[in-house]
Structure 1
């Protein structure tokens, strides 16, 4: 059975980690510059013996090894730092070195973990698939929730509109009831007068 991955106690701050590991870029570049210079610093006349022998044999020319070594060393001392600078800049080596150190630090808790799939249990093998399915289910549920929230918002707006309409109708009913009550009182008040007026009209006709 594979060794369970050890989770980090706390997630490191990426920006702080980049700042902390930023010196690695200059350090590595300086080491490269030093190594390149040492290659030609150690070069001596003996290094050119094979070339001198070929020239002497085929062209009957004697090679001034000491002079040539100095010229090669001088030219390489000028050219190699420029080549090295261009390599670091064009390939963004500094940033990649810092990123590598940050990732090494981030995944340090997983050091020693076995990633051999054949040694994993069925549960461990299917965990990535189950996590993806769970993630898909969560996204689907989130979409449903958003859709339901929109539907609820529309329903609440309609309900509020209906309540306002009902309240308006209720207000009109109250007004109408008050008007009818007022008219009824007026008719009750006028009824005796109308009856008396009717009686007078009948008496006059006689």
Structure 2
């Protein structure tokens, strides 16, 4: 079983606590410096996979450039939680009433969506599929580095908690921090390939 490491992207334009970044937010110079300081990678990593979101893709591209490792896949399974459009570019003090109401009810009804956002159930299901994708890719490519986003990484590393992992997996992920993906999180039991 090949090792899988997960890494958060570097600092991006507009970041501040509680901020819901727009899709197109890109790395800052500090973010690029964080990527450089995050090296060397753990021994044995042979390939990189990444979220398509620009700040993650730029992080993965810089890691690839600095290490010579190939980026073997870009997958929407690794994208950040899809926040509703009404909160993009906003922080907690400016969240609209509809979003505040959703936040108050989301754990009681994890399938509930706020407008065009992803529900907790949607995110958890995607994280389970992401775990299977990472395992399958590592089986083909060898030990991997997966570059993604704080919320998705929190859910991915706490799959056993179900949709509530969105709010309970709140251990901070610092920019460019790496953590090994626990083996028991790599494939959800009902998503294992039939030949396993």
TM-score range, shorter chain: under 0.3
Q: TM-score, normalised by structure 1?
A: 0.20
Q: TM-score, normalised by structure 2?
A: 0.21
Name the one with the larger helix percent.
Answer: 1
Larger Rg: 1
